[in-house]
Chains A and B, each alone.
Chain A
Amino acid sequence: MPRALVTGNHAAGHALAVAGEANRCARGCAGGAYPITPQTEIIEFLRDYSFTRGRIVPVESEHSAMGVCIGASLAGARAFTASSSNGLAYMTENVFAAGYYRLPIVMIAVNRTLGPPWNIWVDQGDSLALRDAPWLQFYTESHQDLVDTILLAFRVAEDPRVLLPALVAMDGFVTSHTQMVVDLPELSQVDRYLPACRVPHQLRRDHAVTFGGLTWPRETERHRRDIQQAMEQVPQVLAEAIDEFEKVFGRRPHGAISAEHTADAETVLVACNTMARTLRGVVGARRRKGERIGMIKSKLFRPFPRAAILAATAAAKRVGVLDRNHSPGSGGIFWQEIAATLHARPDVLVQDYLVGLGGGDVTPQIIDEIIDDLARRTAAADPVWKEVAA
């Protein structure tokens, strides 16, 4: 496997391209491409790649980028795209449509603050606004985590037990525009890892059915319940996909969550994306001083891995959630999920911290201050706005 110093966007473009190329002996690959900062280099990479049986359609909007993915996937091809921020918001109608169609499309979301006012820096509010769409959602902390997760996403999304689209998020600029050394998967490896993409409800000329037509309430309920049941298969399918990944690539990618030092941790912090990496350093330093503290790196957001979170917080008395997003009138979106997961554990204090919104730099010092604040609390309060330096 070639190791290379590449940006997050390059790594994502490479992973999408080899996944698409790996389907060349089946029905090929296709997707729509529309640029938006900080995602642009991904679609530039894809447009430059020489596919044996693939076409990246340069569309006029994100809405159409997902429209092309829907058509390509309905025609049986492996389909993918990438977007950010307002692009995701503009695409939203077709994001829902892709999931309700049960199409295993993979999309990279390069997290960026929704505007106006315009701000190109990282904030997970864009992809989290799609949390109620029938999509898997993964959040990645590093370039390697990103590449591995993209391949896992194709494998899980296309699994006949799942057949749902998957979104893989990375931090805008912090990941997308910085360089790290990455093990880039080779096509021969991806050929072995990804089975030929098969969409069982692919449009066929001899099969006159209407997809997405009218349904009554009863069929709609069944459709929604089918999606829920497919979501419930994801932890098992993901675990298998990780095992298989290790066999092919010789490395074991991160799972739905990474629970670190949680076995004896009375205090547990939760974070996603690159914030989790900063948190890891702080937690490690505090453990060396003897604190019983641990952390959860939250990668899989949809379906939300409640069982894994409950297990990882079994020893916890306090849980602090770092949310780089804001649901107005409520608070942080990860906190909502963690609090709902821990509702049966009234002994656990769950506190939300809104931090790094709009791309503010969440430094180790900021996280130290949050942990000190959490230690002083005797009861949970409303979400805390933890401002960072300009």
Chain B
Amino acid sequence: MNVALRTDAETYCDALLRPGNTNCAGCGMSLGLRWLDEALGGEKPFMVIPACCGIVTAGAFPTSAYGAPTAASTFASAPAVASGISAVADLNDEDSVTVCWTGDGGTYDIGIATLSAAAERNENILYICYDNEIYGNTGGQRSSATPEGVRTSTTPRGKSERKKDMMAIMIAHRIPYAATLSIAHRDDFLRKVRVARKTRGFRFLLLLSPCPTGWKAEAEQSVDLIDAAVRCGLFPLYEVFDGVRYRINVRPDGTPVDQYVAGQRRYTGIHTDGSALHARIDEQWRLLNVLAEAFPADGRSA
């Protein structure tokens, strides 16, 4: 028998996220990048990564943990740089995919004007935010993605403001495709990335990405935590086409929110005792249900 065996090194060199990257154990981004790779079927995207943990992931020059051409942009510029890259690809009739891989700081905060503008222009970009609800790269400061009641190094007594609803903001741009992603729902994740790949124009994917360091949670619990976040209804899995056609992918199943919160020592209990969180979840679902019923995707609302 003459079977050509690939060494681990060869296999991993082809991977979008290679071994030797600097991600912490349990980082949601690692699974997100591997599934992105799988969903793209090995096609190499152009990666644009602003200042965030995701660029530290690459490692130090001359090594690169990314198995794809990658540009490290300035913090607020990923969608602008990606606009230039995808514009030139289009000018040259190249069917390539330009991916912005960004944290919540670059998405919800410093980069939101650039992001909004690229979405409004409907640039041909696949934008993925791995939202760990914190400035993880600088050691865990609040962002506008940080939920209320959560302790960070700049909200030592718990954040008093609510998390920004980034999906609603992006949907309001009437972009061709917006969806949420979970590292506990692999089939749903892969399908949505494939839908996004086939869609032309601006596509926004929001991945709730656990950060064991910042969330003060156990690394091996990351997938279970996200599973709980989806089941309890705190992080709805849904997708929206053209900003007006909604599809809910996973509905809450009665899992108590404590299953999500109790596993993280970042929650202080302020603003987030059981009843307050349940009220937030109820409100979120009432709104989502109204929209999904009024504007179903092809009449196939879940």
Binding site for B on A (CB under 8 A): 27-28, 30, 32, 53-55, 57-61, 63-77, 79, 93-94, 97, 203-216, 219
Whether A70 contacts B113 by the Cβ 8 Å rule is no
Whether B68 contacts A208 by the Cβ 8 Å rule is yes
Give CA–CA (A54, B83) in the complex, Å: 13
Whether A208 contacts B64 by the Cβ 8 Å rule is yes
Report if A67-B58 is in contact (Cβ < 8 Å); known contacts: A61-B114, A93-B74, A205-B69. no
Among the interface residues A32, A53, A214, A216, which one has the most CB atoms of the partner chain B within 10 A? A214
Give CA–CA (A333, B71) in the complex, Å: 34
B57-110 interface with A by 8 A CB criterion: 58-62, 64, 66-74, 76-77, 79-92, 96
Q: How far is the CB of B41 from chain A (nearest CB, A)?
A: 14
Report if A32-B60 is in contact (Cβ < 8 Å); known contacts: A67-B114, A72-B85. no
Give CA–CA (A228, B89) in the complex, Å: 32
Query: Which residue of A53, A64, A208 is within 8 Å of B91 (Cβ)?
Result: A53
Among the interface residues A58, A68, A75, A219, which one has the most CB atoms of the partner chain B within 10 A? A75
Whether B72 contacts A71 by the Cβ 8 Å rule is no
Q: Does B55 contact A (CB under 8 A)?
A: yes
Whether B91 contacts A70 by the Cβ 8 Å rule is no
Q: Does B117 contact A (CB under 8 A)?
A: yes
Give CA–CA (A388, B48) in the complex, Å: 50
From DSSP, what is the main secondary structure of chain B's interface residues?
mixed
| Range for the number of chain B residues in contact with chain A | 35 or more
Binding site for A on B (CB under 8 A): 44, 46, 48, 55-56, 58-62, 64, 66-74, 76-77, 79-92, 96, 113-114, 116-117, 121, 123
Give CA–CA (A84, B80) in the complex, Å: 19
Report if A94-B64 is in contact (Cβ < 8 Å); known contacts: A58-B121, A71-B80, A210-B58. no
- Measured between beta carbons, the chain A residues less than 8 angstroms from B55 are 210, 213-214
Whether A60 contacts B84 by the Cβ 8 Å rule is no
- Measured between beta carbons, the chain A residues less than 8 angstroms from B81 are 67-68, 70-71, 74
- Measured between beta carbons, the chain B residues less than 8 angstroms from A74 are 71, 81, 84-85
Give CA–CA (A60, B83) in the complex, Å: 12
- Measured between beta carbons, the chain B residues less than 8 angstroms from A73 are 84
Give CA–CA (A385, B114) in the complex, Å: 42
Query: Which residue of B62, B74, B91 is within 8 Å of A30 (Cβ)?
Result: B91
- Measured between beta carbons, the chain A residues less than 8 angstroms from B92 are 27-28, 53
Whether A212 contacts B80 by the Cβ 8 Å rule is no
Whether A63 contacts B66 by the Cβ 8 Å rule is no
B82 — nearest CB in chain A belongs to which residue?
A71
* 3 closest cross-chain pairs (CB), A and B: A71-B84, A67-B80, A212-B72
Whether B87 contacts A72 by the Cβ 8 Å rule is yes
- Measured between beta carbons, the chain B residues less than 8 angstroms from A53 are 91-92
Whether A68 contacts B83 by the Cβ 8 Å rule is yes
Report if A79-B84 is in contact (Cβ < 8 Å); known contacts: A53-B91, A203-B71, A214-B61. yes
Whether B84 contacts A70 by the Cβ 8 Å rule is yes
- Measured between beta carbons, the chain B residues less than 8 angstroms from A94 are 74, 77
Whether A64 contacts B114 by the Cβ 8 Å rule is yes
Whether B69 contacts A213 by the Cβ 8 Å rule is no
Q: How far is the CB of A372 from chain B (nearest CB, A)?
A: 49
- Measured between beta carbons, the chain A residues less than 8 angstroms from B80 are 32, 59, 63-68, 70-71
Report if A210-B84 is in contact (Cβ < 8 Å); known contacts: A27-B92, A53-B91. no
Whether B76 contacts A208 by the Cβ 8 Å rule is no
- Measured between beta carbons, the chain B residues less than 8 angstroms from A60 are 113-114, 116-117
Whether A210 contacts B67 by the Cβ 8 Å rule is no
